[in-house]
Structure 1
């Protein structure tokens, strides 16, 4: 059976098709700042309830932001659902200190995806 590959559709805003989710995330944060995306998204949501059109003179900006955020979310979700494929590298002798792990346990450092799931479980109770 042929495996389906997720297309991140980055050719609209990154000017090339990226297949690695880490490259998509790097390109997303390299294209504009996070505060720019946050401001633009809040303006779009604000104009949703108005009768006016957001940026009527330049509608391509809305499409650009939509495709960039959509690609970013696709890359993040592919990392989450295919977490067994992405592993951290073994620490070298210079990074063998416990300080390199910050507040993570050894198990959390080896598999960083369990940190978010543990946080969600704790909040349920």
Structure 2
């Protein structure tokens, strides 16, 4: 059984289409681990994927008032290794055959290189 890592940007216009694709892969027998923001936990687990949350809320479109000096997105952009290390730490010991991500996902190249797996952009014709 193939294992697929999904890296989703944490907002509806990115997560919803890629979530549908993950659902199709699960129905075809693939095992899916899906990174996104906490608001997608129920939909991700609802399709049978393993949900992994980002350590910080990266959704720049979320209307919650942020009292921290830097938002999660700003932290991820200014301190990318903290963001990347969190993801790699959460999947430590898991083996993936490939990764799927949205075109705007910032660190897919680095993460897939660290894991030694191929990657594909969702929604971008080859």
How would you bin the TM-score normalised by the shorter chain? under 0.3
In terms of fraction of residues, the more strand-rich structure is: 2
Q: What TM-score comes out, normalization by structure 2 length?
A: 0.24
More helix by share: 1
Q: Normalising to structure 1: TM-score of the pair?
A: 0.25
